[in-house]
Structure formats: C-alpha cells, structure tokens
C-alpha cells in the first residue's frame, strides 16, 4: 500500500486539477450548469482513485471534511464560483461533500468500501447525466413539491444508476439473477429519492440512501455471513 502522505499528494493533485479546469471553464464563459456538472462528475470519481490507491480512512475522511469546509466558504465568499454556480438557490454542492464524508466515515473499511463507492458513483453519474438529459432533451414534464422535473431526466437517473450498481454489485457478488435484481432495486430507489428531493438535498439523500440499501442487499441478502 502507498504511504499515506503519497496518497494525500495524489488526491491533492487530482482535486487541484479539477478545480483549475473548472475555473478555466468558468473564466471562458462556459455555462455555469455545465461547469458545475463537470465538477460534480470529476469530484465524485475521486472515490475510484481513492479505492485504487487504497487510501486510508483518516486520509479519505480528512479530504471529505476539507471539501465540506471549502464549499461552505465558497458559498459565503464566492471565491470558487464553479462550485456553486447554479442558477437557483441550492446548497447541493455542500450536501454532496457531506454525503461523501458520511459514506467514508460509515463504510470506508476493507470489506465495505464497495458500498461507499456505489453510493457516491450513483449520485456522481446518475444525477449529472439526468440533469443534462433533462435540460437538453426533456419534453415530458411534471412537478414534485413545486419543482419541475422531466420524465427523460428521471428515466436517465434510473438507467445510469442501474448500470453503475450492476457493475459494482457484479464485481462483488458475481453475475446472476440476484445481481440484476439488486441493481434494479437500487436504481429504482435512487431515482425515486432524486424525484422527491428538492433544494439540492438529493446530493445527500441519493448517495446515502443508495449506500444503505446496497449495504443491506450485499451483506444481508446477497453475501450473508460476510
């Protein structure tokens, strides 16, 4: 395993690169929502780097809490517009950082890391692609708690969540009917949570809810005794 300080260096370089690219996009007048989605996806994918590097729990949790602090300060002082440059009042980026920290705190152990990875990646890819599809291709709209949604976006959320869950559950449990059922269940719940969550709170409810469900399915149903 790589020394913790080398882990910190690699994670720090990755985060610095993401923020630098995001600021470059913002400075070149890239649409705020597209810049924010870039940050959303790139930041979430850091969990794969942490998994590959076998980053220790203290290091991972430390970066998660640092991310929380940076997002809160950015809302107050606007020094990183790419983090919060969304055209509506939302604390979604902070909730995203908080969810990463919570999942690392609860599941970043040798036999449970897959749960944290799944929860974070469902949100990383599902929410981002759902938003982009909904904004660009959405034609069938509906409202939940006064918030406009699109059927195309919701279906994209479910489909992407299914693919992410299928790949990760398949790696853990093998490829069979139970894997498809588990991935489908996670996808439906993730999409439902995204629909009923407003004000950016889906960045908290979707990853945490998906991870809790994955933990139950993997270690109580699909992998009993582990």
Q: Could you tell me the two tokens for 195?
A: 């629909």
Q: Name, in order, each residue with C-beta under 8 angstroms of 118's C-beta and a sequence gap of 6 or more.
A: 164, 165, 168, 169, 186, 210, 211, 214
Sign of CA dihedral 29, 30, 35, 36: positive
CA atoms within 13 A on the CB side of 201: 8
User: Domain extents for the chain?
Assistant: 4-222
Q: What is the pTM of this model?
A: 0.90
pLDDT in tens, the chain (226 residues): 688 889 999 998 998 898 889 888 877 776 677 888 888 899 999 999 999 999 999 999 999 999 899 888 887 777 665 555 544 456 888 999 999 999 999 999 998 999 999 999 999 999 999 999 998 887 898 888 878 899 999 999 999 999 999 999 998 888 888 899 999 999 999 999 999 988 789 999 999 999 999 999 988 876 655 4
Q: Could you tell me the two tokens for 81?
A: 């517009």
């Amino acid at each position: 395993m790589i020394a913790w300080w080398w882990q910190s260096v690699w994670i720090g370089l990755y985060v610095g690169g993401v923020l630098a690219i995001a600021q470059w996009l913002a400075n070149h007048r890239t649409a705020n929502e597209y810049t924010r989605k870039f940050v959303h996806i790139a930041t979430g994918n850091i969990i794969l780097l942490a998994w590959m590097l076998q980053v220790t729990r203290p290091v991972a949790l430390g970066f998660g809490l640092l991310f929380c602090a940076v997002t809160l300060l950015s809302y107050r002082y606007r020094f990183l517009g790419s983090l919060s440059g969304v055209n509506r009042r939302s604390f979604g980026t902070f909730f995203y950082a908080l969810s990463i920290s919570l999942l690392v705190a609860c599941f970043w152990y040798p036999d449970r890391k897959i749960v944290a990875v799944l929860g974070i990646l469902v949100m990383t890819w599902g929410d981002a692609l759902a938003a982009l599809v909904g904004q660009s291709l959405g034609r069938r709209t509906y409202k939940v708690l006064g918030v406009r949604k699109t059927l195309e976006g919701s279906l994209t959320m479910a489909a992407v969540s299914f693919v992410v869950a299928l790949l990760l559950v398949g790696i853990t449990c093998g490829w069979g009917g139970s894997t498809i059922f588990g991935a489908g269940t996670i996808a439906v719940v993730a999409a439902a949570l995204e629909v009923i969550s407003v004000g950016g709170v889906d960045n908290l409810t979707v990853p945490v809810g998906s991870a809790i469900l994955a933990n139950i399915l993997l270690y109580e149903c699909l992998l009993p005794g582990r």
